[in-house]
Amino acid sequence: MREDHESPRGGTAPETGEQAPRERKPEPASHAHFDPGARVASATPATADGPEHTTQPFAYDGILLSGFGGPEGQDDVLPFLRNVTRGRGIPDERLEEVAHHYRHFDGVSPINDQNRRLLEALRNALQAAGVDLPVYWGNRNWAPYLDEALTAAAADGVRNLLAIPTSAYSSYSSCRQYREDWADALEASGLQEDMRIDKVRQFFSHPGFLEPFVEGLASALREAAAAGNSRDQIEVLFATHSIPTLDAELSGASLFPDSPGGGYAAQHLAAAREIVARVAPDISWQLVYQSRSGPASQPWLEPDINDAIEALTDRTAVIIVPLGFVSDHMEVMWDLDEEATETAENRGLWVTRTPTPGVHPAFVGALVDLVQERLEGRPVEQRKNTTTIGPWFDVCRPGCCENRRLGFKPAIAGLVP
């Protein structure tokens, strides 16, 4: 098999020979580095004091695009899943229950190719905007790993990175775990003392992130109508990844102490309301969840999308909007395009799934804008924000997105713990 590695300026360059990718992600960090007097680990001077929103212009010298990662062949599937579930003691037999989703697609997740396209689009858009910064790409759970990206950046003389996670929302798995993995990568690469990493804010409320969903829903409603479905017969299901209820309640807990689902649910609901308001204020819709795992005794956010579809009694059509995802990766292609679509068809419902942002110009432009607001130190009231909550924080608040089952681990880009 061929492995693609990061070239010095963050591109993908084929390696000569038949060397397999490294199977293990970096080991957990033993600590996080704090500069003297800093309140935020591994932070630049712009964020070291822990402001909610920094208005200090800062000259970053590189960008770190951070992905989840995915296998690129049958031999990669189990090692990849071991990385994803490390520390949970899940045996390979149980991992194989999930592996069959990947094996259905020849062991190849589309997520890495999606990120390669996003990497190229982001570079081109930054250049067009006059932002001359190299972009490095590293994954949390498969090659190219984050520590490999940091090593490549350091070899280029980069010392201050602005990180962009490929996730728009607040939760342990979509924010804090990225911050922990950056800490792991800094220690694994030996760069704790020398490299600083800040992160962009959660971008669920940025108009450029929402625009692809607006266009997708408008198009799907036209298709549904052309297929003979009246507006009052259509149900729109905004789908996102389910997470443990306790994790959800601890995401943005300081802002949403009494909100079921915490900041995670509140952010999705705010985004969905904005999309509906722009496209079809009279449409029936709901927020649903997918891809839950873990023991049945552990409460997770509900309703499951399949249960929600089964519960529809007076609808002829379902439109699935993958609001929680930025690209068509496995949990979109399998859980939505296969399982949820099959559930709808078995109920005799007309069904379609709208596109994810992918490399839509508005989404790529939003990422460029997030970089520019930090380079400029843009005041919060001048930042692009189109929902009733936000703009979200530049520096994560203390305890935000805690995982009480796993405990606090070294993390950067946020106030401790």
Q: How far is it, in rounded angstroms, from Cα 58 to Cα 54?
A: 10
Q: How far is it, in rounded angstroms, from Cα 205 to Cα 209?
A: 7
For the chain, how big is the Rg over CA atoms in Å? 21
pLDDT at 4: 34
Give, for all 417 residues of the chain, the pLDDT tens digit.
223 333 333 443 333 345 678 999 999 999 999 999 999 999 999 999 999 999 999 999 999 999 999 999 999 999 999 999 988 888 999 899 889 889 988 999 999 999 999 999 999 999 999 999 999 999 999 999 999 999 999 999 999 999 999 999 999 999 999 999 999 999 999 999 999 999 999 999 999 999 999 999 999 999 999 999 999 999 999 999 999 999 999 997 667 767 789 999 999 999 999 999 999 999 999 999 999 987 788 999 999 999 999 999 999 999 999 999 999 998 999 999 999 999 999 999 999 999 999 999 999 999 999 999 999 999 999 999 999 999 999 999 998 899 998 889 999 999 998
* CB of 159 closer than 8 Å to CB of 399: no
HSE-up of residue 136 (Cα within 13 Å, Cβ side): 32
pLDDT at 97: 85
Domain 4-203+361-382 classification at class level: alpha beta
Q: How far is it, in rounded angstroms, from Cα 417 to Cα 402?
A: 9
Amino acid in the structure at residue 239: A
In 3D space, the residue among 391, 415, 410, 332 whose CA is nearest the CA of residue 55 turns out to be: 391
What tokens were used for 241? 């990844």
Phi-psi region of 379 (alpha: psi -120 to 50; beta: other; left: phi over 0): beta
Provide the CATH number for the domain formed by 207-353 in this structure: 3.40.50.1400
4-203+361-382 and 207-353: identical CATH topology: yes
pLDDT at 8: 31
HSE-up of residue 77 (Cα within 13 Å, Cβ side): 23
Domain spans, the chain: 4-203+361-382, 207-353
